[in-house]
């Protein structure tokens, strides 16, 4: 299993040279004139310090290549308009086209391997969404086989440090949609919109009871985010259930306007036994999300038919002994989607600094230590 780990290693500050006095300036002037008359001189400590500083902050080739674009007047405004415009396009598409058909067509396009087309698509996407490619193992469009290969890109080791034991780690890079206690069986989707545990878990009342009055958080992965989901705690996989449904967009605008969205969309429920009690991770499909892939089951094929119709597909993994450590890679989405984490009463709650709209990175702590 691919685990992204590491630790923070902030660099020490470089001391600045003190300001010379008038007497020192005079001596320095004499020294400089003397040095000019010599045929060859070695670098002074002050020169070495300056050269070292330049070397440490020298931009990479990729930054140099695109830096001139950022100097064009209005370019950041254009990037923002294009980014927001793509969200609006998805909303219009989900109203006008059959969700599954549109997602299949997008999946075919995203798997295009014609170099010119896929490179153009990838580079445009990187620019519009301002993606930091310095964090990834591969940096240029030409290194990816297709758009889906780019979209499920892996990060360099150490760029997402994993929080200490006893705390729950964020499973994804994303934005918190909602976070807090579960009121009986009720979860909050958005203002004036709720849904139930039983609805979310596909009618499984027995599973729902484990999370009554527990804790939950919803995290939205925008198209610009890193799209793997990781284990927030140590745990053993018990079972999964794929629940068929719609493929509405899960962007914040749709979440605020579509009642019971997460209970209507296709989703994969994964149940774990963890150090923090029972935990369920629900990976919610969305328009343009052509598939969800897990490290234990491979491609989940959320648009496939089983026995001629769309059925709930339950898989038991208890005998397979799939054990995961916090931070282990659990799978990926092919485009922006949402992860919902459920914990039981044993959960110690969430950090008070977290609320709807807070951006998080995979591995950062989202709960207080378990001993508090």
Q: Which residues are catalytically annotated? A: 173, 230, 337
* CA distance linking residue 358 with residue 372, whole number of Å: 23
Place of tokens 């709807």: 356
* CA distance linking residue 261 with residue 282, whole number of Å: 13
Q: Return the structure tokens found at 51.
A: 């050269």
CA distances from 71 to 57, 74, 302 (A): 20, 9, 44
Taking alpha carbons only, the member of 130, 116, 38, 90 closest to residue 288 is 90
CB atoms within 10 A of CB 275: 14
Instruction: Identify the bridge partners of residue 309 per DSSP, sorted by sequence position.
Output: 306
* CA distance linking residue 58 with residue 96, whole number of Å: 49
H or E, element range at 301: none
CA distances from 36 to 23, 39, 45, 255, 313 (A): 20, 8, 17, 71, 82
Place of tokens 């793509």: 86
Q: Return the structure tokens found at 311.
A: 């059925």
Largest CA distance in the chain: 92
* CA distance linking residue 84 with residue 76, whole number of Å: 12
Number of H helices, E strands in the chain: 11, 15
CB-CB contact of 306 with 237 (8 Å): no
């Amino acid at each position: 299993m691919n685990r992204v780990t590491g630790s923070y290693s902030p660099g020490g500050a470089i001391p600045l040279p003190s300001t010379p006095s008038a007497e020192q300036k005079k001596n320095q002037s004499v020294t400089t004139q003397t040095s000019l008359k010599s045929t060859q001189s070695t670098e002074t400590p002050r020169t070495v310090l300056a050269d070292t500083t330049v070397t440490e902050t020298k931009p990479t080739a990729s930054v140099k290549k695109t830096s001139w674009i950022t100097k064009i007047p209005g370019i950041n405004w254009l990037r923002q308009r294009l980014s927001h415009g793509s969200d609006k396009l998805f909303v219009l598409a989900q109203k006008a086209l059959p969700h599954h058909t549109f997602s299949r067509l997008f999946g075919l396009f995203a798997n295009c391997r014609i170099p010119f087309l896929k490179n153009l698509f990838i580079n445009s996407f990187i620019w519009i969404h301002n993606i930091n490619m310095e964090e990834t193992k591969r940096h240029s469009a030409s290194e990816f086989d297709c758009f889906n290969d780019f979209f499920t890109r892996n990060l360099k080791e150490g760029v997402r440090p994993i929080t200490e034991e006893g705390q729950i780690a964020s499973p994804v890079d994303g934005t918190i949609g909602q976070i807090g206690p579960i009121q009986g069986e009720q979860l909050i989707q958005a203002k004036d919109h709720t849904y139930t545990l039983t609805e979310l878990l596909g009618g499984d009342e027995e599973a729902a009871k484990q999370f009554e009055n527990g804790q939950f958080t919803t995290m939205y992965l925008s198209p610009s985010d890193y799209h793997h989901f990781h284990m927030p705690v140590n745990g053993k996989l018990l079972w999964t259930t794929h629940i068929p449904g719609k493929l509405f967009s899960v962007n914040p605008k749709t979440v605020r306007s579509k009642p019971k969205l997460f209970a209507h969309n296709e989703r994969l429920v994964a149940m774990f036994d963890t150090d923090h009690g029972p935990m369920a991770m629900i990976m919610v499909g969305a328009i343009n999300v052509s598939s969800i892939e897990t490290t234990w089951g491979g491609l989940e094929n959320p648009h496939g038919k089983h026995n001629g119709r769309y059925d709930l597909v339950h898989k038991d993994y208890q005998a397979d002994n799939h054990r995961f450590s916090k931070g282990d890679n659990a799978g990926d989405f092919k485009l922006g989607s949402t992860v919902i984490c459920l914990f039981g009463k044993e959960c110690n709650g969430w950090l008070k600094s977290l609320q709807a709209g807070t951006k998080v990175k995979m591995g950062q702590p989202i709960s207080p230590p378990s001993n508090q």
